[in-house]
Chain A
Amino acid sequence: MPSLDDLRKRIASVKSTQKITKAMKMVAAAKLRKAQEMAEKGRPFSDKMDVIIQNLSKAINDPLNAPRLLVGTGEDKVHLCIVMTADRGLCGGFNTNIVKQAKNYFNKILKGSKTLKIITVGTKGLDQLKRDYGKYIIKKINFKDKKKLSFKDAETIGNEIVKLFKNKEFDKCIIFFNKFKNVMTQVPQTQQVIPAKKEEQSEQEEHTSYEFEPEEDEILEDLLPKNISTQIYKGFLENSASEQGSRMTAMDNATRNAGDLVEKLTINYNRSRQAAITKELIEIISGAESL
């Protein structure tokens, strides 16, 4: 049985933890609103970009001459995985979920005796991956000192990837990020960005024939690198909204748990205090009686 003093100290410490988690929840809620807004505003751009590229790829009749970024190298040996996580912790299962999904994928690749290359974006993912997959990591990127991510940041990563692809460093590029569904749920996503062409789609769909100016492949040549940056930027936005949402939920739970704990401890404390008083009274009474 802990002494009264111990209990009092514990209650005080849990209460101060509760204050912190509560504050973090508030901050996350405020940031979430902004991040969510950005994510929602950013969606039309990447969606439209996707539509245009799919329309273009339908128009290409000769897959042999199509840009490599669209149809791939024709091989499937080296996979480049971009794992996007947060730079900060204390956000529930946010980082772990992405990493878990990525690890599943890594194991599948390694079992198929393909080569794996990893780029980590965000420090938390790196921390979780470097023990098991450290030797596969070719680049680490983080934006710890940046407050807000802009399209330029996504572009730098995008250009880097395109450069690697042009040097024939990999055949397929996959990005991992969390898609923001609502505050409670974030869905880890695996998305292939290179080659950009989707595997067989519903062909029945009547598509309009477009006029292209200049030629299709010239447009594609210009558009595809942009598409990669766009997809990465989308990943950023979804991720930051998810991170805040996840943190808010986690901190809300923590605050509630702390409240429960304080309640329990207080009952405990009151009981032991009462017990001590009763004991003292009995001692006094029995002392008086014996006189």
Chain B
Amino acid sequence: MSENFNTEIISPEKVLLRDKTESVTIPSFEGEMTILANHISLITFLRPGIIEINGSKKVKYFIEDGTVEFSNNNLVILSSTIIETINLTKDKIDKIIEESKSFLNRDTLDDKKRYILSHKIDCLQRIN
């Protein structure tokens, strides 16, 4: 039996999830990472991607941005843009992809935003 740790996902409106989890995979800005119990204390922020929660049940969330803090076996994910993937219909995904693509075509974007957007599109297409 592996160790568990507390995970909280919080949006400005409410606490989305509070659970004991075995592992959580997050799309950190510099690459995907999986957090297990007793991970070193960590603060990082997220790029668009999928959060996989492996706790009392398995849940997946699509996230556009957010901040993650892990300390003393407490994981906190703060995000204002988070959707459970089950709630994402094909139409919605198509719409977001469409929007992001039109953003991507603008010249004013800097590299960082470009990087974030292309990830967003990538990730959404994978869900599709």
Contacts and interface: CB of A to CB of B under 8 A. Distances in A.
B30 A213 contact: yes
Between B14, B41, B45, the greatest number of chain A beta carbons within 10 A of the residue's beta carbon is seen for B45
Contacts of A210: 41-43, 69, 71
B118 interface: no
Interface in A19-62: 38, 41-42, 44-46, 48-49, 51-52, 55-56
Nearest to A40: B14
B52 to A, nearest CB: 19
A151 B13 CA distance: 8
Interface residues of A, number: 28
Interface in B31-51: 40-45
Contact of B11 (A45, A52, A211, A226): A45
A55 B67 contact: no
A4 B40 CA distance: 83
A214 B10 contact: no
A49 B76 CA distance: 10
A233 B18 CA distance: 22
Contact of B29 (A45, A48, A211, A214): A214
A151 B15 contact: no
9 A-B pairs closest in CB distance: A41-B14, A213-B44, A151-B12, A208-B41, A210-B41, A211-B42, A45-B10, A45-B12, A210-B43
Contacts of B67: 49, 52, 219, 222-223, 226
A212 interface: yes
Range for the number of chain B residues in contact with chain A: 20 to 34
A117 to B, nearest CB: 26
A290 interface: no
A211 B76 CA distance: 15
Contacts of B29: 213-214
Given A45-B10, A48-B10, 8 more contacts: A45-B78, A48-B69, A51-B69, A52-B67, A208-B71, A213-B29, A219-B67, A226-B67
Nearest to B39: A211
Contacts of B42: 210-213
A154 B12 CA distance: 11
Contact of B40 (A45, A211, A226): A211
A262 B110 CA distance: 69
A212 B44 contact: yes
A209 interface: yes
A230 interface: yes
Contacts of A155: 80
A212 B42 CA distance: 6
Contacts of A44: 8, 10, 15
Contact of B44 (A45, A209, A219): A219
B75 to A, nearest CB: 11
B43 A41 contact: no
B28 interface: yes
Contacts of B85: none
Given A151-B80, A211-B40, A219 B72 contact: no
A157 to B, nearest CB: 14
A48 B15 CA distance: 12
B99 to A, nearest CB: 15
B62 to A, nearest CB: 17
A175 to B, nearest CB: 16
B43 A52 contact: yes
Given A52-B43, A211-B42, A219-B45, A233 B12 contact: yes
Interface string A196-224: 00000000000011111110000100110
A208 B43 contact: no
Interface in B41-92: 41-45, 67, 69, 71-72, 76, 78, 80
